[in-house]
A and B are shown apart, each in its own frame.
Chain A
Protein backbone atom coordinates (compact mmCIF):
# COMPACT_ATOMS: atom_id res chain seq x y z
CA UNK A 1 0.00 0.00 0.00
CA UNK A 2 1.56 3.25 -1.11
CA UNK A 3 1.37 6.85 -0.01
CA UNK A 4 0.85 10.07 -1.93
CA UNK A 5 3.03 8.97 -4.86
CA UNK A 6 0.94 5.87 -5.43
CA UNK A 7 -2.23 7.92 -5.16
CA UNK A 8 -1.03 10.49 -7.71
CA UNK A 9 0.04 7.74 -10.07
CA UNK A 10 -3.38 6.13 -9.82
CA UNK A 11 -5.06 9.49 -10.25
CA UNK A 12 -3.31 9.95 -13.56
CA UNK A 13 -4.01 6.37 -14.62
CA UNK A 14 -7.62 5.79 -13.67
CA UNK A 15 -10.52 7.74 -15.10
CA UNK A 16 -12.87 6.68 -12.28
CA UNK A 17 -10.55 8.18 -9.69
CA UNK A 18 -10.31 11.43 -11.63
CA UNK A 19 -14.07 11.62 -11.85
CA UNK A 20 -14.40 10.88 -8.15
CA UNK A 21 -11.93 13.62 -7.32
CA UNK A 22 -13.55 16.23 -9.57
CA UNK A 23 -17.01 15.41 -8.23
CA UNK A 24 -15.86 15.59 -4.61
CA UNK A 25 -14.14 18.94 -5.16
CA UNK A 26 -17.22 20.46 -6.81
CA UNK A 27 -19.47 19.15 -4.05
CA UNK A 28 -17.07 20.62 -1.48
CA UNK A 29 -17.45 24.06 -3.01
CA UNK A 30 -21.22 23.94 -3.46
CA UNK A 31 -21.97 22.55 -0.02
CA UNK A 32 -19.50 24.90 1.62
CA UNK A 33 -21.18 27.95 0.12
CA UNK A 34 -24.81 27.03 0.68
CA UNK A 35 -23.94 25.69 4.13
CA UNK A 36 -23.01 29.20 5.33
CA UNK A 37 -26.59 30.31 4.85
CA UNK A 38 -27.90 27.16 6.51
CA UNK A 39 -25.79 27.76 9.61
CA UNK A 40 -26.55 31.46 9.97
CA UNK A 41 -30.27 30.90 9.49
CA UNK A 42 -30.18 28.25 12.21
CA UNK A 43 -31.38 25.62 9.76
CA UNK A 44 -28.93 22.75 10.23
CA UNK A 45 -31.79 20.41 11.08
CA UNK A 46 -33.73 21.67 8.07
CA UNK A 47 -30.72 20.88 5.89
CA UNK A 48 -30.67 17.35 7.23
CA UNK A 49 -34.41 17.05 6.65
CA UNK A 50 -34.37 18.23 3.04
CA UNK A 51 -31.49 15.95 2.14
CA UNK A 52 -33.32 12.94 3.59
CA UNK A 53 -36.56 14.01 1.92
CA UNK A 54 -34.91 13.67 -1.46
CA UNK A 55 -34.95 9.87 -1.13
CA UNK A 56 -38.58 9.16 -2.14
CA UNK A 57 -38.09 11.48 -5.11
CA UNK A 58 -35.09 9.50 -6.26
CA UNK A 59 -37.06 6.27 -5.88
CA UNK A 60 -40.09 7.60 -7.77
CA UNK A 61 -37.86 9.01 -10.50
CA UNK A 62 -36.43 5.54 -10.94
CA UNK A 63 -39.87 3.89 -11.00
CA UNK A 64 -41.22 6.31 -13.60
CA UNK A 65 -38.01 6.56 -15.53
CA UNK A 66 -37.61 10.31 -15.20
CA UNK A 67 -34.58 12.31 -14.17
CA UNK A 68 -33.34 12.18 -10.54
CA UNK A 69 -33.44 15.94 -10.60
CA UNK A 70 -37.17 16.26 -10.99
CA UNK A 71 -37.96 13.61 -8.41
CA UNK A 72 -35.52 14.91 -5.83
CA UNK A 73 -36.50 18.54 -6.17
CA UNK A 74 -40.19 17.68 -6.05
CA UNK A 75 -40.10 15.71 -2.82
CA UNK A 76 -37.43 17.97 -1.28
CA UNK A 77 -39.42 21.14 -1.82
CA UNK A 78 -42.75 19.43 -1.02
CA UNK A 79 -41.31 18.40 2.35
CA UNK A 80 -40.08 21.96 3.00
CA UNK A 81 -43.57 23.25 2.21
CA UNK A 82 -45.13 20.57 4.42
CA UNK A 83 -42.86 21.51 7.32
CA UNK A 84 -43.74 25.18 6.87
CA UNK A 85 -47.45 24.37 6.73
CA UNK A 86 -47.47 22.19 9.83
CA UNK A 87 -45.45 24.59 11.97
CA UNK A 88 -47.56 27.58 10.93
CA UNK A 89 -50.90 25.87 11.36
CA UNK A 90 -50.37 24.17 14.69
CA UNK A 91 -48.77 24.91 18.00
CA UNK A 92 -45.85 22.65 17.13
CA UNK A 93 -42.42 24.17 17.01
CA UNK A 94 -40.27 24.01 13.87
CA UNK A 95 -38.00 21.21 15.03
CA UNK A 96 -40.92 18.93 15.82
CA UNK A 97 -42.56 19.61 12.46
CA UNK A 98 -39.23 18.88 10.79
CA UNK A 99 -38.78 15.65 12.74
CA UNK A 100 -42.24 14.41 11.82
CA UNK A 101 -42.17 15.32 8.14
CA UNK A 102 -38.71 14.30 7.05
CA UNK A 103 -38.71 10.90 8.69
CA UNK A 104 -42.04 10.23 6.96
CA UNK A 105 -40.55 11.17 3.61
CA UNK A 106 -37.41 9.16 4.29
CA UNK A 107 -39.35 6.07 5.35
CA UNK A 108 -41.49 6.34 2.23
CA UNK A 109 -38.31 6.44 0.19
CA UNK A 110 -36.91 3.34 1.87
CA UNK A 111 -40.19 1.47 1.32
CA UNK A 112 -40.33 2.45 -2.35
CA UNK A 113 -36.77 1.35 -2.95
CA UNK A 114 -37.11 -1.96 -1.12
CA UNK A 115 -40.32 -2.60 -3.08
CA UNK A 116 -38.25 -2.50 -6.21
CA UNK A 117 -35.42 -4.62 -4.91
CA UNK A 118 -33.37 -6.25 -7.59
CA UNK A 119 -33.87 -3.53 -10.18
CA UNK A 120 -30.46 -2.03 -9.82
CA UNK A 121 -31.13 0.73 -7.33
CA UNK A 122 -28.82 0.20 -4.42
CA UNK A 123 -30.15 1.78 -1.25
CA UNK A 124 -26.73 1.68 0.35
CA UNK A 125 -25.23 3.68 -2.51
CA UNK A 126 -27.91 6.35 -2.33
CA UNK A 127 -27.60 6.65 1.43
CA UNK A 128 -23.82 6.66 1.65
CA UNK A 129 -22.63 7.50 -1.83
CA UNK A 130 -20.73 5.52 -4.41
CA UNK A 131 -18.05 7.85 -5.53
CA UNK A 132 -16.23 5.31 -7.67
CA UNK A 133 -19.25 5.14 -9.98
CA UNK A 134 -19.27 8.81 -10.93
CA UNK A 135 -19.80 9.06 -14.67
CA UNK A 136 -19.08 11.86 -17.11
CA UNK A 137 -22.80 12.64 -17.15
CA UNK A 138 -22.79 12.87 -13.36
CA UNK A 139 -19.92 15.34 -13.51
CA UNK A 140 -21.82 17.56 -15.93
CA UNK A 141 -24.89 17.39 -13.73
CA UNK A 142 -22.91 18.36 -10.62
CA UNK A 143 -21.27 21.15 -12.61
CA UNK A 144 -24.64 22.49 -13.77
CA UNK A 145 -26.08 22.40 -10.26
CA UNK A 146 -22.98 24.08 -8.88
CA UNK A 147 -23.20 26.81 -11.49
CA UNK A 148 -26.87 27.39 -10.75
CA UNK A 149 -26.24 27.56 -7.00
CA UNK A 150 -23.29 29.91 -7.28
CA UNK A 151 -25.01 32.19 -9.80
CA UNK A 152 -28.16 32.34 -7.65
CA UNK A 153 -26.15 33.28 -4.59
CA UNK A 154 -24.14 35.83 -6.55
CA UNK A 155 -27.28 37.46 -7.97
CA UNK A 156 -29.32 37.41 -4.77
CA UNK A 157 -26.49 37.97 -2.34
CA UNK A 158 -28.06 41.09 -0.84
CA UNK A 159 -31.46 39.51 -0.39
CA UNK A 160 -30.05 36.34 1.14
CA UNK A 161 -27.76 38.26 3.48
CA UNK A 162 -30.35 40.75 4.71
CA UNK A 163 -33.14 38.21 5.15
CA UNK A 164 -30.73 36.01 7.08
CA UNK A 165 -29.39 38.71 9.38
CA UNK A 166 -32.46 40.88 9.90
CA UNK A 167 -35.63 39.28 8.52
CA UNK A 168 -37.83 42.04 9.93
CA UNK A 169 -36.01 44.79 8.07
CA UNK A 170 -35.96 42.62 4.97
CA UNK A 171 -39.74 42.38 5.09
CA UNK A 172 -40.11 46.05 5.97
CA UNK A 173 -38.30 47.10 2.80
CA UNK A 174 -40.36 44.63 0.77
CA UNK A 175 -38.15 41.60 0.30
CA UNK A 176 -40.11 38.36 -0.21
CA UNK A 177 -38.73 36.45 2.77
CA UNK A 178 -40.67 33.25 2.29
CA UNK A 179 -39.82 33.15 -1.41
CA UNK A 180 -36.16 33.49 -0.45
CA UNK A 181 -36.61 30.67 2.09
CA UNK A 182 -38.10 28.32 -0.49
CA UNK A 183 -35.50 29.29 -3.08
CA UNK A 184 -32.91 28.20 -0.55
CA UNK A 185 -34.79 24.93 0.03
CA UNK A 186 -34.86 24.37 -3.73
CA UNK A 187 -31.11 24.94 -3.94
CA UNK A 188 -30.67 22.61 -0.96
CA UNK A 189 -32.55 19.81 -2.76
CA UNK A 190 -30.35 20.34 -5.82
CA UNK A 191 -27.20 20.28 -3.72
CA UNK A 192 -28.31 16.98 -2.21
CA UNK A 193 -28.78 15.53 -5.68
CA UNK A 194 -25.30 16.75 -6.59
CA UNK A 195 -23.88 15.11 -3.47
CA UNK A 196 -25.69 11.76 -3.88
CA UNK A 197 -22.75 9.89 -5.33
CA UNK A 198 -19.97 11.44 -3.30
CA UNK A 199 -21.24 11.56 0.29
CA UNK A 200 -24.79 10.26 -0.04
CA UNK A 201 -28.00 11.44 1.55
CA UNK A 202 -27.19 10.62 5.15
CA UNK A 203 -23.95 12.56 5.38
CA UNK A 204 -24.75 15.55 3.15
CA UNK A 205 -25.65 17.58 6.20
CA UNK A 206 -22.08 17.27 7.45
CA UNK A 207 -20.76 18.79 4.21
CA UNK A 208 -23.29 21.59 4.59
CA UNK A 209 -22.67 22.37 8.23
CA UNK A 210 -19.16 21.35 9.23
CA UNK A 211 -16.95 23.44 6.86
CA UNK A 212 -19.27 26.42 7.32
CA UNK A 213 -19.16 26.09 11.10
CA UNK A 214 -15.36 25.93 11.02
CA UNK A 215 -15.25 29.03 8.78
CA UNK A 216 -17.72 30.87 11.03
CA UNK A 217 -15.34 30.49 13.96
CA UNK A 218 -12.44 31.90 11.95
CA UNK A 219 -13.78 35.09 10.40
CA UNK A 220 -15.79 38.23 11.07
CA UNK A 221 -16.91 38.87 7.56
CA UNK A 222 -19.58 37.00 5.64
CA UNK A 223 -17.88 37.10 2.23
CA UNK A 224 -14.72 35.65 3.82
CA UNK A 225 -16.81 32.99 5.53
CA UNK A 226 -18.23 31.89 2.17
CA UNK A 227 -14.76 31.65 0.65
CA UNK A 228 -13.21 29.92 3.66
CA UNK A 229 -16.07 27.46 3.95
CA UNK A 230 -15.74 26.36 0.35
CA UNK A 231 -11.96 26.08 0.69
CA UNK A 232 -12.38 23.86 3.76
CA UNK A 233 -14.97 21.84 1.83
CA UNK A 234 -12.51 21.30 -0.99
CA UNK A 235 -9.67 20.33 1.36
CA UNK A 236 -11.97 17.82 3.06
CA UNK A 237 -12.94 16.37 -0.31
CA UNK A 238 -9.40 15.98 -1.62
CA UNK A 239 -8.02 14.56 1.62
CA UNK A 240 -11.12 12.39 2.04
CA UNK A 241 -10.82 10.82 -1.40
CA UNK A 242 -7.11 10.29 -0.78
CA UNK A 243 -7.61 8.47 2.54
CA UNK A 244 -10.49 6.50 1.18
CA UNK A 245 -8.38 5.29 -1.76
CA UNK A 246 -5.22 4.59 0.19
CA UNK A 247 -6.92 2.83 3.12
CA UNK A 248 -9.81 1.41 1.12
CA UNK A 249 -12.61 2.86 3.28
CA UNK A 250 -15.95 4.48 2.42
CA UNK A 251 -15.32 7.76 0.61
CA UNK A 252 -18.21 9.85 1.93
CA UNK A 253 -17.48 9.04 5.54
CA UNK A 254 -13.79 9.64 4.99
CA UNK A 255 -14.50 13.12 3.54
CA UNK A 256 -16.78 13.95 6.46
CA UNK A 257 -14.17 12.83 9.01
CA UNK A 258 -11.58 15.15 7.48
CA UNK A 259 -14.10 18.00 7.65
CA UNK A 260 -14.75 17.19 11.30
CA UNK A 261 -11.03 17.21 12.00
CA UNK A 262 -10.70 20.63 10.33
CA UNK A 263 -13.61 21.84 12.44
CA UNK A 264 -11.91 20.71 15.63
CA UNK A 265 -8.74 22.62 14.63
CA UNK A 266 -10.81 25.71 13.97
CA UNK A 267 -12.61 25.29 17.27
CA UNK A 268 -9.36 24.96 19.20
CA UNK A 269 -7.88 27.95 17.40
CA UNK A 270 -10.87 30.12 18.25
CA UNK A 271 -10.71 28.97 21.89
CA UNK A 272 -7.03 29.82 22.12
CA UNK A 273 -7.56 33.20 20.46
CA UNK A 274 -10.25 34.24 22.90
Chain B
Protein backbone atom coordinates (compact mmCIF):
# COMPACT_ATOMS: atom_id res chain seq x y z
CA UNK B 1 0.00 0.00 0.00
CA UNK B 2 1.18 3.51 -0.77
CA UNK B 3 0.69 6.36 1.63
CA UNK B 4 0.25 8.74 -1.27
CA UNK B 5 -0.07 8.01 -4.95
CA UNK B 6 -0.17 10.80 -7.52
CA UNK B 7 -0.72 10.23 -11.22
CA UNK B 8 -0.36 12.83 -13.98
CA UNK B 9 -1.41 15.68 -11.73
CA UNK B 10 -1.71 19.15 -13.22
CA UNK B 11 -2.82 22.20 -11.28
CA UNK B 12 -3.33 25.75 -12.44
CA UNK B 13 -4.25 28.88 -10.58
CA UNK B 14 -6.19 31.67 -12.27
CA UNK B 15 -5.41 30.31 -15.72
CA UNK B 16 -1.68 29.91 -15.07
CA UNK B 17 -0.14 26.46 -14.78
CA UNK B 18 1.44 25.92 -11.37
CA UNK B 19 2.78 22.48 -12.28
CA UNK B 20 2.10 19.85 -14.87
CA UNK B 21 2.06 16.10 -15.13
CA UNK B 22 3.37 15.18 -11.70
CA UNK B 23 3.54 11.48 -10.94
CA UNK B 24 5.01 9.80 -7.88
CA UNK B 25 4.18 7.43 -5.07
CA UNK B 26 5.35 7.35 -1.49
CA UNK B 27 5.28 4.30 0.74
CA UNK B 28 4.33 4.74 4.40
CA UNK B 29 6.75 5.38 7.24
CA UNK B 30 8.85 8.07 5.62
CA UNK B 31 9.86 11.66 6.02
CA UNK B 32 9.29 13.25 2.64
CA UNK B 33 10.68 16.62 1.65
CA UNK B 34 9.03 18.69 -1.05
CA UNK B 35 11.82 20.97 -2.27
CA UNK B 36 12.36 23.49 -5.01
CA UNK B 37 12.87 27.21 -5.54
CA UNK B 38 10.34 29.92 -4.67
CA UNK B 39 7.24 29.74 -6.80
CA UNK B 40 7.93 26.16 -7.84
CA UNK B 41 4.51 25.05 -6.64
CA UNK B 42 5.56 23.30 -3.41
CA UNK B 43 2.73 24.54 -1.20
CA UNK B 44 0.26 23.99 -4.01
CA UNK B 45 1.37 20.38 -4.35
CA UNK B 46 0.96 19.93 -0.60
CA UNK B 47 -2.55 21.35 -0.75
CA UNK B 48 -3.40 19.29 -3.81
CA UNK B 49 -2.45 16.07 -2.02
CA UNK B 50 -4.70 17.12 0.87
CA UNK B 51 -7.50 17.66 -1.64
CA UNK B 52 -7.73 21.40 -1.07
CA UNK B 53 -7.03 22.61 -4.60
CA UNK B 54 -9.08 22.05 -7.68
CA UNK B 55 -6.96 20.13 -10.16
CA UNK B 56 -6.97 20.30 -13.96
CA UNK B 57 -6.42 16.61 -14.33
CA UNK B 58 -4.77 13.68 -12.63
CA UNK B 59 -5.43 11.28 -9.84
CA UNK B 60 -4.71 11.61 -6.12
CA UNK B 61 -4.90 8.66 -3.77
CA UNK B 62 -4.24 8.74 -0.06
CA UNK B 63 -3.88 5.39 1.70
CA UNK B 64 -5.33 3.75 -1.42
CA UNK B 65 -8.53 5.82 -1.36
CA UNK B 66 -9.68 9.15 -2.70
CA UNK B 67 -8.70 11.86 -0.23
CA UNK B 68 -12.32 12.75 0.56
CA UNK B 69 -12.74 9.58 2.61
CA UNK B 70 -9.46 9.96 4.45
CA UNK B 71 -9.78 13.44 5.92
CA UNK B 72 -9.56 12.39 9.55
CA UNK B 73 -6.20 10.86 8.72
CA UNK B 74 -4.72 14.08 7.43
CA UNK B 75 -3.09 16.48 9.85
CA UNK B 76 -1.92 19.86 8.67
CA UNK B 77 0.58 22.30 10.10
CA UNK B 78 0.10 25.65 8.32
CA UNK B 79 2.70 28.25 7.52
CA UNK B 80 2.53 30.46 10.59
CA UNK B 81 2.44 33.64 8.55
CA UNK B 82 -0.96 32.69 7.11
CA UNK B 83 -2.65 32.74 10.51
CA UNK B 84 -3.92 35.55 12.71
CA UNK B 85 -1.75 34.92 15.76
CA UNK B 86 -3.54 37.62 17.77
CA UNK B 87 -6.59 35.38 17.76
CA UNK B 88 -7.89 34.96 21.31
CA UNK B 89 -6.76 31.38 21.76
CA UNK B 90 -4.60 29.82 24.44
CA UNK B 91 -1.98 27.21 23.58
CA UNK B 92 -4.20 24.44 24.93
CA UNK B 93 -7.16 25.66 22.86
CA UNK B 94 -5.09 25.39 19.69
CA UNK B 95 -3.95 21.86 20.49
CA UNK B 96 -7.53 20.84 21.29
CA UNK B 97 -8.42 21.69 17.68
CA UNK B 98 -6.47 18.59 16.72
CA UNK B 99 -9.10 16.56 18.57
CA UNK B 100 -12.03 18.15 16.70
CA UNK B 101 -12.10 15.51 13.92
CA UNK B 102 -12.58 12.86 16.62
CA UNK B 103 -15.43 14.66 18.36
CA UNK B 104 -18.95 14.41 16.94
CA UNK B 105 -20.40 17.44 15.16
CA UNK B 106 -22.18 18.81 18.18
CA UNK B 107 -20.14 17.05 20.88
CA UNK B 108 -17.72 18.46 23.43
CA UNK B 109 -14.20 17.38 24.33
CA UNK B 110 -14.07 14.39 26.65
CA UNK B 111 -11.63 13.70 29.45
CA UNK B 112 -9.68 11.55 27.04
CA UNK B 113 -9.38 14.46 24.61
CA UNK B 114 -8.10 16.67 27.41
CA UNK B 115 -5.56 14.05 28.46
CA UNK B 116 -4.43 13.75 24.89
CA UNK B 117 -3.88 17.50 24.67
CA UNK B 118 -1.72 17.47 27.81
CA UNK B 119 0.27 14.51 26.50
CA UNK B 120 0.98 16.18 23.17
CA UNK B 121 1.94 19.45 24.85
CA UNK B 122 4.43 17.54 26.99
CA UNK B 123 5.88 15.86 23.92
CA UNK B 124 6.75 19.21 22.35
CA UNK B 125 7.88 20.68 25.66
CA UNK B 126 5.13 23.30 25.77
CA UNK B 127 3.04 22.07 28.72
CA UNK B 128 4.06 24.89 31.02
CA UNK B 129 2.97 27.42 28.38
CA UNK B 130 -0.51 25.92 28.00
CA UNK B 131 -2.28 29.02 29.38
CA UNK B 132 -0.41 31.49 27.17
CA UNK B 133 -2.05 33.25 24.26
CA UNK B 134 -0.42 31.84 21.10
CA UNK B 135 0.77 35.20 19.79
CA UNK B 136 2.87 35.69 22.92
CA UNK B 137 5.20 32.80 22.06
CA UNK B 138 8.34 32.78 19.94
CA UNK B 139 8.13 31.47 16.39
CA UNK B 140 9.70 28.16 17.33
CA UNK B 141 7.35 27.71 20.27
CA UNK B 142 4.36 28.46 18.06
CA UNK B 143 5.52 25.89 15.55
CA UNK B 144 5.83 23.31 18.33
CA UNK B 145 2.28 24.09 19.43
CA UNK B 146 1.00 23.51 15.89
CA UNK B 147 2.93 20.26 15.77
CA UNK B 148 1.30 19.26 19.06
CA UNK B 149 -2.06 19.98 17.45
CA UNK B 150 -1.16 17.66 14.57
CA UNK B 151 0.01 14.98 17.03
CA UNK B 152 -3.26 15.23 18.94
CA UNK B 153 -5.09 14.39 15.75
CA UNK B 154 -3.45 10.92 15.64
CA UNK B 155 -3.42 11.07 11.86
CA UNK B 156 -1.59 8.67 9.56
CA UNK B 157 -0.33 11.47 7.35
CA UNK B 158 1.10 14.81 8.39
CA UNK B 159 1.60 17.78 6.10
CA UNK B 160 3.84 20.63 7.23
CA UNK B 161 4.22 23.83 5.22
CA UNK B 162 7.67 25.40 5.77
CA UNK B 163 7.78 24.45 9.45
CA UNK B 164 11.35 25.64 9.92
CA UNK B 165 10.90 29.11 8.46
CA UNK B 166 12.17 31.64 10.96
CA UNK B 167 12.48 29.45 14.03
CA UNK B 168 15.29 28.74 16.49
CA UNK B 169 17.61 25.73 16.29
CA UNK B 170 16.32 24.14 19.51
CA UNK B 171 12.78 24.07 18.18
CA UNK B 172 13.93 22.87 14.79
CA UNK B 173 15.87 19.89 16.17
CA UNK B 174 13.06 19.07 18.59
CA UNK B 175 10.55 19.08 15.73
CA UNK B 176 12.70 16.95 13.46
CA UNK B 177 13.23 14.42 16.25
CA UNK B 178 9.50 14.19 16.89
CA UNK B 179 8.87 13.73 13.19
CA UNK B 180 11.41 10.90 13.16
CA UNK B 181 9.54 9.27 16.06
CA UNK B 182 6.32 9.51 14.04
CA UNK B 183 8.06 7.90 11.10
CA UNK B 184 9.12 5.11 13.46
CA UNK B 185 5.45 4.56 14.27
CA UNK B 186 4.78 4.03 10.57
CA UNK B 187 3.35 7.48 9.85
CA UNK B 188 4.15 9.44 6.75
CA UNK B 189 5.24 13.05 7.01
CA UNK B 190 5.40 15.56 4.14
CA UNK B 191 7.32 18.78 4.57
CA UNK B 192 7.59 21.74 2.28
CA UNK B 193 11.16 22.84 2.74
CA UNK B 194 13.42 25.29 0.96
CA UNK B 195 16.76 24.96 2.74
CA UNK B 196 18.76 22.53 0.66
CA UNK B 197 21.57 22.32 3.19
CA UNK B 198 19.60 20.24 5.61
CA UNK B 199 17.30 18.54 3.16
CA UNK B 200 19.76 15.75 2.60
CA UNK B 201 20.07 14.82 6.26
CA UNK B 202 16.42 15.30 7.19
CA UNK B 203 14.49 13.34 4.60
CA UNK B 204 14.16 9.75 3.44
CA UNK B 205 12.52 10.71 0.17
CA UNK B 206 12.53 13.91 -1.77
CA UNK B 207 10.26 15.47 -4.35
CA UNK B 208 12.07 18.13 -6.39
CA UNK B 209 9.69 20.51 -8.04
CA UNK B 210 10.02 23.39 -10.48
CA UNK B 211 6.64 23.82 -12.13
CA UNK B 212 6.99 20.18 -13.02
CA UNK B 213 8.50 17.17 -11.34
CA UNK B 214 12.26 17.33 -11.81
CA UNK B 215 13.07 14.26 -9.75
CA UNK B 216 11.67 12.15 -6.96
CA UNK B 217 12.80 9.21 -4.91
CA UNK B 218 15.52 8.54 -2.40
CA UNK B 219 18.06 11.16 -1.36
CA UNK B 220 20.64 9.65 -3.69
CA UNK B 221 18.29 9.77 -6.65
CA UNK B 222 17.28 13.39 -6.15
CA UNK B 223 20.32 15.02 -4.62
CA UNK B 224 22.28 15.07 -7.84
CA UNK B 225 23.93 18.16 -9.14
CA UNK B 226 22.21 17.95 -12.54
CA UNK B 227 18.73 17.74 -11.01
CA UNK B 228 19.40 20.58 -8.60
CA UNK B 229 20.92 22.73 -11.35
CA UNK B 230 17.80 22.23 -13.40
CA UNK B 231 15.48 23.15 -10.54
CA UNK B 232 17.45 26.16 -9.46
CA UNK B 233 18.27 27.41 -12.97
CA UNK B 234 21.94 26.74 -12.59
CA UNK B 235 22.22 29.06 -9.63
CA UNK B 236 23.98 26.31 -7.74
CA UNK B 237 27.49 26.42 -6.46
CA UNK B 238 28.87 23.06 -5.61
CA UNK B 239 31.54 22.77 -3.03
CA UNK B 240 32.77 19.30 -3.71
CA UNK B 241 35.61 19.57 -1.26
CA UNK B 242 33.08 20.02 1.53
CA UNK B 243 30.72 17.49 -0.04
CA UNK B 244 28.11 20.18 0.23
CA UNK B 245 25.96 22.31 -1.96
CA UNK B 246 25.01 25.88 -1.88
CA UNK B 247 22.17 27.57 -3.63
CA UNK B 248 22.73 31.05 -4.87
CA UNK B 249 19.64 33.23 -5.15
CA UNK B 250 17.55 30.13 -4.60
Contacts and interface: CB of A to CB of B under 8 A. Distances in A.
B106 A225 contact: no
Size class of the B contact interface (CB-based, 8 Å): 20 to 34
B76 A168 contact: yes
Interface string B102-128: 010110000000000000000000000
Contacts of A174: 68, 71-72, 101
A224 B97 contact: no
Nearest to A154: B106
Given A173-B100, A174-B72, A224 B88 contact: yes
A169 B51 CA distance: 11
Contacts of B106: 155-156
Contact of A159 (B51, B68, B105, B133): B105
Interface in B178-229: none
B81 interface: no
Interface string A173-216: 11000000000000000000000000000000000000000001
Contacts of B75: 172
B90 interface: yes
Contact of B82 (A40, A164, A168, A219): A168
Given A156-B106, A159-B105, A174-B72, A165 B90 contact: no
A166 interface: yes
Interface string B66-107: 001001101110100011100111100110010011010110
Interface of A (DSSP majority class): helix
A9 interface: no
B93 A222 contact: yes
Nearest to B132: A220
Main secondary structure of the interface of B (DSSP, over half): mixed
Contacts of A164: 87
B126 to A, nearest CB: 16
B74 A172 contact: yes
B50 interface: yes
B148 to A, nearest CB: 13
Contact of A220 (B50, B71, B84, B133): B133
A168 B161 CA distance: 11
B105 A166 contact: no
Contacts of B133: 220-221
A222 B89 contact: yes
Contacts of B105: 155-156, 159
A169 B76 contact: yes
B88 A169 contact: no
A162 B89 contact: no
Interface centre among A164, A165, A172, A225 (most CB of B within 10 A): A172
B78 A168 contact: yes
16 contacts: A155-B105, A162-B97, A165-B87, A166-B97, A168-B76, A168-B78, A169-B76, A172-B50, A172-B52, A172-B159, A173-B100, A216-B88, A220-B89, A221-B89, A221-B93, A222-B93
Lowest 7 A-B CB distances belong to which pairs? A174-B71, A220-B133, A172-B76, A173-B101, A155-B106, A222-B88, A169-B76
Interface of B: 47, 50-52, 68, 71-72, 74-76, 78, 82-84, 87-90, 93-94, 97, 100-101, 103, 105-106, 133, 153, 159
Given A168-B47, A169-B76, A224-B88, 11 more contacts: A156-B106, A165-B83, A165-B84, A165-B97, A166-B83, A168-B78, A169-B78, A172-B50, A173-B72, A173-B153, A221-B93
